[in-house]
Every structure is written in C-alpha cells, then in structure tokens.
Amino acid sequence: MTVVVALDAFKGCLSAADACAAVADGLRAAAPAAELRLVPMADGGEGTAAALLAARPGGVWVRREVCGPLPGRTVEAGFAWFADDGTAVVEMAAASGLPLLAVDERDPERTTTRGTGELLAAAVAQGARRILLTIGGSATVDGGVGAAAALGWRFLGADGRDVPPGGGHLGEIARIVPPVARQLPSVTVLCDVTNPLCGPDGAAAVFGPQKGATPRQVAQLDAGLRHFAERIAADVGRDVLALPGGGAAGGLGAGAAAFFDAVLTPGIDAVIDACGLRQALRKAAWCITGEGCFDQTSLRGKVVSG
C-alpha cells in the first residue's frame, strides 16, 4: 500500500517538511509495510519558495536585508533564484509576513509591504526574466502600496505629498503616479485565497483580525481599500474591486495586478505541478493532507482544497 503524505506548514509550529515527517513517523509505527511518499506542500503562502527549491534542482536562496513589516525596521529575507531560466521566487512573507511580528506588534494600519517591493527590485537586479510572487502569510492590509512605492510608484495625498505607509492611510490617497519606466519582467502571483479586495469576504473583514485589527479598524481598512480601488480605476485604469484573489495578502493581489501587471493564479496548482504530486498519487491508496488550522479559508485556494 502506498500512502502519499502531502501537508502544508502548521504556521508558527511546523514546517511542511516537519509536518509530513511527523505523520510519516506515525504511519511507520502503525503500518510498517506501507510505502510512504512525502511531498511537502505550499499554496502561495509561507514555505512556497522552500517547496519549489526542494522540488526543482539548481535553485539557490539569495539573501537580502530589506524593510520589515513595520516601517523603520529591517529583516534578513531573500528569494529563490533559478539561474537556468532566470526565474526568481519572491515570498512576501519573508519580508512582510505575520510571523515576523510579536502579537502585540500586529497593527495593519501601520504595517507595510515595502520590503516585498525591495525584494522584487533585488530580483530584477539579479537578472530575473520571470518572477513568481507568493503572497500568503502577510502582516499587512496596505493594498500593496508599500511594495509599489519601493518600485517607484507614488501615492499622493491632497497636499501633494506622499502618504505615510500602512493600511490606515489608504483613504488619504488623492492621486497615484506611476514610475517613469516599468521596472519588472513578467510577474505571476501565486495566491493562497480567492477573496476579493473589499466587503464581507474581503481582505480586511476576513484576515484583518488575525493581523491585529479591531472591529473599528476592520471597518476603516475596508473603506480605505474601497477608496484605493476607486483611485486605481481612475489613475491606473484597472478595475480590481471584484478581482478573485485581489484580497490576498491584505490587497497585495489587487495591487500587484494594478501596478506590476501581474497575473494571479492559485499557488497550490503551481506547487502541485512543480512537486510532481499528480504522478505520486497515481499509485497511491491514500493521501494525507492538512494544515495548521482547518477553517472557512481552507477550501478557498489552500493546500487542502488543491
């Protein structure tokens, strides 16, 4: 009997590889004759770059120091680099992820995706011809403003000055000014959810509380994201309000589509293809999968749904 063990990470506790190994230990004790195939998974959230590095030979991790989730703080992050075809895998959680903050530091009105933009710039400097941007596990609800600002976009208030970083200032944006020249190659966003930008299923309402938002802040952030979408439509000419996955990573999905001309795709599909999961399942009697918390989002683009 062949059993495929294909788990996602248990956020804050176990990596995907460690979770698969723990299940395998139990299976070996209970069914010593079983043939086990361990296929650590990811869905566009934390661990996606590691899963792709493990699945594809020739990749390396390029370290960079960039802005962290809070303005004025730096973190050591990086991206996966595959020199053979010039592909960079930028994992936003490495620079702008929730695990980088203590519980009492979580504040989506202040947190920023700027470090993610700095990683994108570093990938371009590396010579990237194609970028995979994985956007799960964020600490932010800034619509990708920080990332775009790091790449030359400007977000001006009514006074003509750049608005401060953080989701709490989205409602102050009066004009969006593009950079002089496009700086990015082809960008594909690997999403781990299909939520839209705003509304009861949007970035603020569903994910804001886990990022530290109070009910008052959720309402303010949602209103800011809606205003932000209106400014994008007026100044950039893109309609991102109902974009599936636009609410991923606090609206970075929508921001990436608007500012980086990115294509959004389910991250789980990309990882399944890269890891050879379909081939492993053809001879399997069982597949064991899971993630750290099974909730309403698990069947909306996460590993379990895939």
Task: Supply 237's token pair.
Answer: 């000419």
Where is pLDDT greater, at 283 or 66? 66
- Which residue from 160, 46, 71, 113 is spatially nearest to 255, judged by alpha carbons? 113
pLDDT confidence of residue 56: 80
Phi, psi of 25 (to 5 degrees): -60, -45
- Residues 306, 297: Cα–Cα separation, whole Å: 12
pLDDT higher at 275 or 116 = 116
228-237 long-range CB contacts below 8 Å, 24 or more apart? 228/143, 228/145, 228/170, 228/171, 228/173, 229/197, 229/198, 229/254, 231/173, 231/174, 231/175, 231/176, 232/176, 232/258, 235/175, 235/176, 235/177, 236/176, 236/178
| CATH value of 1-39+276-306 in 3.30.1330.120, 3.90.420.10, 3.40.47.10, 3.40.50.10350 | 3.40.50.10350
pTM comes to 0.88
15 falls in which pLDDT band (50, 70, 90)? confident
Tokens 């079983």 correspond to 34
Mean of the per-residue pLDDT values for the chain?
94
pLDDT (average), residues 25-35: 96
| 145-157 per-position pLDDT tens digit | 999 999 999 999 9
**pLDDT of residue 306 exceeding 90:** no
Q: Which fold has domain 48-268?
A: Glycerate kinase, domain 2 (3.90.1510)
Q: What is the pLDDT of residues 184-222, one digit of tens each?
A: 999 999 987 889 999 999 999 999 999 999 999 999 999
Residue 60 to residue 42: CA distance in whole angstroms: 18
Q: Has residue 22 got a pLDDT over 80? A: yes
In terms of Cβ atoms closer than 10 Å to its own Cβ (0-12, 13-18, 19+), residue 162 is middle
Average pLDDT over residues 93-102: 94
pLDDT for 250-292, tens place per residue? 999 999 999 999 999 988 888 898 888 999 999 899 999 999 8
Domain residue spans in the chain?
1-39+276-306, 48-268
